């Protein structure tokens, strides 16, 4: 479908929604009385500039935002979207200060972990969205398992229960990208489980290839490598407790030590590209497109760019655990939230509703993204995105979609990021690695943080 057709479909959906609901609230730009049952009348809000901060900077991510923003402004000519997009790590750095500024943005993508969204909720910097969720039907549109990842108690002590503070556009799943031609040249079949994947890494190394690409200078990318490895060794329920910062589990277990040892073993065997801890994240995945590696463990958000660059040569899969089921890191993309300083929260809510609508899911699919809703219905027939949709469906239906580990505590992103760099460099042992993580996790559970 061409862009004009997609935009027309969205505009038609807006018109249908307005006429079908028959609900128009008399609201002023600074009034949220339209929430909690009535859909706000955005056209009556006057001239509005809506400032949006996002991190959708890569090809397909940026394309879908441009299309949806254009469609929203066409539907509501009185609203001008002023978009500021930054790379993920840049947004993480600047957002903390921006939310306390007098000119805070209206809508932001706030990482839903305790170190970002949790802290913002605790400080009162984000609006709870439950009333808007009722008005726009978000509780029906999204499954509870999805919404839990952007839900907090008012004091941010409880993660996964309480008020809704954000809404995501995309689902995410971490798996293994690979070059089909490289695999064929090595005479290898697609590894069915992690034991076979280890054998494939060894075969690639013996053939003089770089088996596994990693760009970890920002520290967070290694979490997406360790997470699936941990899923092969540790019970899913324990990983959920550890990842959400809930009590009842421990990092200092033989299974977690085994997972750490497996990752360190890859580094010691020379499976990673040289200087992985000093390599830029984008440079690492781009190396796969230029034929410099065989495998890349990464998130579904890379699929569109890798597909554009590699065409049919790129594939995506997830090895099964030793138990024969899939388990890997994933969940939702970074949610869109409304700041407490938003001048027009009704307009902000309408915008979030628009970019997460059923029709928006079609735009997301067509621009190479993994929609968080209607996923099976919108799956493409072939290509790397078909692989991604298949893996996401398999994990969510037959396995375990595990939380990002940096959700755990307000300081866990820094703790595990630094510890993983040390583990990969051989500067710490698997036992000391897990002890470091346990110290942060246990202190948070005990209320010392």
Structure confidence by residue, pLDDT tens digits, 5-27: 444 455 455 443 443 322 223 23
Residue 84: predicted pLDDT: 93
Confidence band for 328, pLDDT divided at 50, 70 and 90: very high
Residue 10: predicted pLDDT: 53
Overall residue count recorded for the chain in this entry? 449
Residue 179: predicted pLDDT: 98
H or E segment to which residue 348 belongs:
helix 345-355
For domain 3-170+333-366, give the CATH number.
Answer: 3.40.190.10
Q: What is the pLDDT of residues 383-408, one digit of tens each?
A: 999 999 999 989 988 899 999 999 89
Residue 5: predicted pLDDT: 45
CA distance 333 to 222: 18
Q: What average pLDDT score do residues 330-345 get? A: 94
Cite the DSSP H helix spans in 76-213: 88-98, 119-122, 130-136, 138-141, 144-147, 180-185, 194-206
Pairing state between β 151-152 and 79-85: unpaired
Reply yes or no on whether the pLDDT at 110 is more than 70. yes
CA angle, corner 372, sides to 370 and 378, nearest 5? 60
Using the Cα atoms of residue 241, residue 243, residue 244 and residue 250 in order, give the sign of their dihedral. positive
Residue 253: predicted pLDDT: 98
CB 61 within 8 A of CB 369: yes
Residue 295: closest CA among 152, 428, 175, 157: 175
Residue 378: predicted pLDDT: 92
Percent of the chain topping pLDDT 90: 73
Least confident of 92-101, 137-146, 375-384: 92-101
Residue 368: predicted pLDDT: 86
CB 328 within 8 A of CB 231: yes
End-to-end Cα spacing for the chain: 51
| 217 vs 16 pLDDT, higher one | 217
Confidence band for 261, pLDDT divided at 50, 70 and 90: very high
Least confident of 98-112, 221-235, 324-338: 98-112
CA atoms within 13 A on the CB side of 379: 15
CA atoms within 13 A on the CB side of 51: 11
CB 42 within 8 A of CB 79: yes
Q: What is the pLDDT of residues 38-75, one digit of tens each?
A: 888 998 899 999 999 998 888 888 999 999 999 999 99
Confidence band for 89, pLDDT divided at 50, 70 and 90: confident
Residue 90: predicted pLDDT: 80
Residue 37: predicted pLDDT: 63
Token digits of residue 273: 């590209």
In 138-232, which ranges are E strands? Answer: 151-152, 163-164, 171-179, 212-213
| 44 vs 296 pLDDT, higher one | 296
Residue 267: predicted pLDDT: 98
H or E segment to which residue 414 belongs:
helix 412-425
Residue 144: predicted pLDDT: 85
What average pLDDT does the chain have? 89
Residue 449: predicted pLDDT: 57
Q: What average pLDDT score do residues 154-170 get? A: 92
Token digits of residue 400: 């375990």
Pairing state between β 400-402 and 151-152: unpaired
For domain 172-332+389-445, give the CATH number.
Answer: 3.40.190.10
CA distance 305 to 299: 12
Q: For 170, which DSSP code?
A: B
Q: What average pLDDT score do residues 302-326 get? A: 95
- Given this chain, do its domains 3-170+333-366 and 172-332+389-445 carry the same CATH topology? yes
Reply yes or no on whether the pLDDT at 30 is more than 60. no
Residue 412: closest CA among 175, 219, 147: 219
Residue 297: predicted pLDDT: 98
Residue 21: predicted pLDDT: 29
Pairing state between β 327-332 and 400-402: parallel
Residue 224: predicted pLDDT: 97
Residue 72: predicted pLDDT: 97
Q: Where are the domains of the chain?
A: 3-170+333-366, 172-332+389-445
Q: For 84, which DSSP code?
A: E
Residue 103: predicted pLDDT: 86
Confidence band for 359, pLDDT divided at 50, 70 and 90: very high
Cite the DSSP H helix spans in 154-220: 180-185, 194-206
CA distance 306 to 178: 10
């Amino acid at each position: 479908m061409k862009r004009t057709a997609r935009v027309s479909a969205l505009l038609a959906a807006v018109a249908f929604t307005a006429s079908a609901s028959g609900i128009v609230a008399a609201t002023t730009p600074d009034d949220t009385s339209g929430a909690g049952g009535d859909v706000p009348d955005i056209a009556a809000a006057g001239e509005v500039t809506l400032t949006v901060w996002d991190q959708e900077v890569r090809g397909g991510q940026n394309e879908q935002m441009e299309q949806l923003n254009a469609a929203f402004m066409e539907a509501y000519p009185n609203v001008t979207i002023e978009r500021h997009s930054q790379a993920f790590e840049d947004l993480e750095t600047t957002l903390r200060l921006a939310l306390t500024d007098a000119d805070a943005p209206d809508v932001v993508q706030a990482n839903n972990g305790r170190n970002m969204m949790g802290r913002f909720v605790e400080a009162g910097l984000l609006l709870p969205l439950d009333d808007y969720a009722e008005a726009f039907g978000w509780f029906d549109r999204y499954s509870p398992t999805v919404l839990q990842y952007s839900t907090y108690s008012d004091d941010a002590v409880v993660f996964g229960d309480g008020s809704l503070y954000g809404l995501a556009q995309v689902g995410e799943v971490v798996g293994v990208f690979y070059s089909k031609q490289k695999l064929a040249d090595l005479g290898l079949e697609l590894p069915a489980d992690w034991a076979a994947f280890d054998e494939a890494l060894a075969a690639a190394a013996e053939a003089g290839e770089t088996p596994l690409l990693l760009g970890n200078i920002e520290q967070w990318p290694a979490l997406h490598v360790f997470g699936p490895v941990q899923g092969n060794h540790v019970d899913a329920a324990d990983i959920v407790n550890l990842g959400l910062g809930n009590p009842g589990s421990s990092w200092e277990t033989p299974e977690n030590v085994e997972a750490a040892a497996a990752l360190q073993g890859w580094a010691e065997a020379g499976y990673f590209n040289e200087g992985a801890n000093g390599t830029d994240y984008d440079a690492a995945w781009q190396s796969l497109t230029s034929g410099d590696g065989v495998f890349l463990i990464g998130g579904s958000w890379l699929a569109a760019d890798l597909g554009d660059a590699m065409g049919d040569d790129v594939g995506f899969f997830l090895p099964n655990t030793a138990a024969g089921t899939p388990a890997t890191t994933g969940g939702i993309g970074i949610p869109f939230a409304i700041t407490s300083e938003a001048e027009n929260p009704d307009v902000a809510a309408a915008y979030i509703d628009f970019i997460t609508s059923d029709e928006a899911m079609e735009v997301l699919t067509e621009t190479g993204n993994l929609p968080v809703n209607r996923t099976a219905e919108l799956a493409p027939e072939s290509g790397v995105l078909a692989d991604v949709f298949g893996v996401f469906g398999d994990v969510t239906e037959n396995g375990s979609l595990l939380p990002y580990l940096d959700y755990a505590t307000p300081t866990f992103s820094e703790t595990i990021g630094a510890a993983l760099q040390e583990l990969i460099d051989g500067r710490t042992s698997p036992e000391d690695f897990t002890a470091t993580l346990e110290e942060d996790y246990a202190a948070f559970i005990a209320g010392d943080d």
